[in-house]
Structure formats: structure tokens, C-alpha cells
């Protein structure tokens, strides 16, 4: 997180005191990142709004630039600007979708999570991060190299945010229920599954000083358990990763991040593994 040089902040002109900007200022205050403000709109002109806001932020000591743009759709606009400006983080306020609309159309924020090559922070609440818990969600049952690198990234981002917000870092890993038919006897008993998952977490527990009380290894589906544990520990931010299953068409992420977006009561930071980032950057460049 310390290495983020530039943050793309998606602005809503009708909400100048938007939550996305609040979080961006908090992060930039610590990381000295540049803030690039973006209004996605092809109809109205927001030059005056962006100029006033930029002036205000400059006066507060922030490095800031701003633009208005539109490329086909909201998520494509955000992604093309993120790539053009080289922003290491996108921050956007999440507005829940109407369930009926969601059944027919893929929500914009899902598309942003799917296709944006950089980390995306979706801000859902005005709850202060300071003094809250930061929850990092990892799937340690998948120990392949892609997942291992992603787990490290998730926990280290969680650690950075916890340091920034003076908050406690918690880690959750959901594990499957025991199966008598499992080929590996480890997965036939609940105790051995939990022990195996805890074992997988030992390395980052040691590296980031996460006590056993702040490690939640729980049985059940991740999309149900992550919001439950986030609620229980009072999370201000939940950090989660996404890994493509098959190619990048269709439902890219298989995907806990999308499912829990509306049920989480915290902000959500979504990260991807390196090789997916490279693939997405190629796709954006072809447009």
C-alpha cells in the first residue's frame, strides 16, 4: 500500500463530500499518493466542480489532478483512466443495486471488480476505519503458487491498512465441511481440516503478528461466513482476493467478492494475482 503513487478517485458531483474522497484523503495523507479525481459523465459539464474541488484539496496540501471522461460505460471509463494515469488504486463509493435489476444486468461495480487490472476499494459506509478491525479473507485450502502470492498480498494490504487506521488485523479462512468420501483422510474429520488450515496460516501469522484470537478458521461457505465474521469483529474494511477460474469471459471470479458486496457491512478492497493483472492490462490495451 505504501508503494501506491497515484489513487484514482471516482467522484459523484452531487455528493462533493463523497465517501470515496474521504478514504482517498486518509490513504494519501499517509502514503503521500497523488489524487486523480474522475467524473464519469458524457452529458453534463463538471469542469467548475472539479476545478473548485482540486483547488480546495491543493490548499489542504494534497497533490491533485482531475478530469471528466466517458468511454462506452462506467466501468470502462474508470479502467481506461486508471490505465492511462497509472493509478495503483481505484476508490469508488458502492451504491447497492436493486435486486430485480441485478437479476437482469450485471452491476457496474461487479464489472469493475472483474475487469479492473488494479486494486479496487469500494466504499460502503462512513464508519471510521480508525479503531475498527481490518479483516483479511484468504482461501488457504488452495495452496498453489497463484493463491499463495495472493494470500500474502491480501494479508500485507490488510496489515498496511490496519497500521494506517491504528486498527487490529483479523484474518478469516473458511474451510469445507468434512467429507467421508474425501480421498485425503485429512478432509474426513473437522478437527484435522481446521488444524491443516491453521497450519497454512502460521507463516503470515508470524510475519504480521496475528494472534490466534484474531485468526478465524471457520467451517462453511466463504460468502456467508466472511460478512458474519466482519460484522462480529466490527470490520471497517474487508480485504479479499479474486482468482480467475476459466479464462476471463463469463463469470470471471467464481466469485465470493461479487456475492458478498451487498451483504458486507464494511468497505471492501479487492485484489488480484499478478498474471491476471497482466492479462487484463492486455485486454484493456486491445480496446
Extract the C-alpha cell encoding 172: 478469516
Least Cα distance to 268 among 232, 230, 213 occurs for 230
Burial 87-126 (b: 16+ CB within 10 A, else e): bbbbbbbbeebeeeeeeeeebbbbbbbbbbbbbbbbbbbe
Domain 6-93: which CATH number of 2.40.10.340, 3.40.50.620, 3.65.10.10, 3.40.50.2020: 3.40.50.620
- Extents of the domains making up the chain: 6-93, 133-286
Rounded distance, CA 13 to CA 120, Å? 20
Whole-model pTM? Answer: 0.88
Give the pLDDT confidence score for residue 284 in this predicted structure: 73
CA distance linking residue 92 with residue 150, whole number of Å: 22
- Residue 140 DSSP class: T
CATH code linked to domain 133-286 = 3.40.50.12370
Q: Which residues of the chain have pLDDT under 70?
A: 1-2, 16-17, 97, 99-106, 143, 179-188, 243-254, 275-277, 287
**Cα separation, 41 vs 247, whole angstroms:** 31
Residue with cell 476508490: 91
Amino acid at each position: 500500500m505504501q508503494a501506491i503513487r497515484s489513487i484514482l478517485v471516482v467522484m459523484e458531483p452531487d455528493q462533493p463530500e463523497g465517501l470515496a474522497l474521504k478514504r482517498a484523503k486518509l490513504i494519501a495523507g499517509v502514503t503521500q499518493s497523488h489524487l486523480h479525481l474522475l467524473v464519469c459523465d458524457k452529458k453534463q459539464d463538471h469542469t467548475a466542480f472539479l476545478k473548485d474541488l482540486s483547488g480546495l484539496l491543493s490548499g489542504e496540501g494534497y497533490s491533485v489532478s482531475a478530469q471528466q471522461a466517458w468511454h462506452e460505460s462506467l466501468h470502462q471509463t474508470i479502467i481506461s483512466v486508471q490505465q492511462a494515469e497509472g493509478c495503483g488504486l481505484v476508490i469508488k463509493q458502492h451504491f447497492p443495486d436493486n435486486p430485480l435489476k441485478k437479476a437482469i444486468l450485471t452491476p457496474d461495480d461487479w464489472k469493475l471488480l472483474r475487469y479492473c487490472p488494479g486494486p479496487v476499494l469500494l466504499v460502503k459506509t462512513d464508519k471510521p476505519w480508525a479503531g475498527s478491525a481490518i479483516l483479511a479473507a484468504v482461501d488457504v485450502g488452495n495452496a498453489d503458487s497463484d493463491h499463495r502470492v495472493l494470500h500474502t498480498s491480501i494479508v500485507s494490504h490488510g496489515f498496511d491498512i490496519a497500521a494506517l487506521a491504528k486498527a487490529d488485523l483479523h484474518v478469516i479462512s473458511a474451510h469445507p465441511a468434512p467429507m467421508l468420501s474425501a480421498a485425503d483422510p485429512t478432509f474426513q474429520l473437522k478437527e484435522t481440516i481446521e488444524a491443516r488450515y491453521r497450519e497454512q496460516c502460521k507463516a503470515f501469522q508470524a510475519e504480521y503478528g496475528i494472534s490466534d484470537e484474531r485468526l478465524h478458521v471457520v467451517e462453511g461457505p466463504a460468502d456467508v461466513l466472511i460478512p458474519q465474521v466482519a460484522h462480529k469483529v466490527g470490520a471497517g474494511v474487508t480485504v479479499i482476493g479474486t482468482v480467475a477460474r476459466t479464462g476471463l469471459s463469463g463469470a470471471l471470479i467464481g466469485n465470493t467478492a461479487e456475492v458478498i458486496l451487498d451483504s458486507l457491512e464494511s468497505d471492501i478492497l479487492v485484489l488480484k494475482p499478478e498474471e491476471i493483472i497482466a492479462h487484463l492490462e492486455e485486454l484493456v490495451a486491445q480496446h
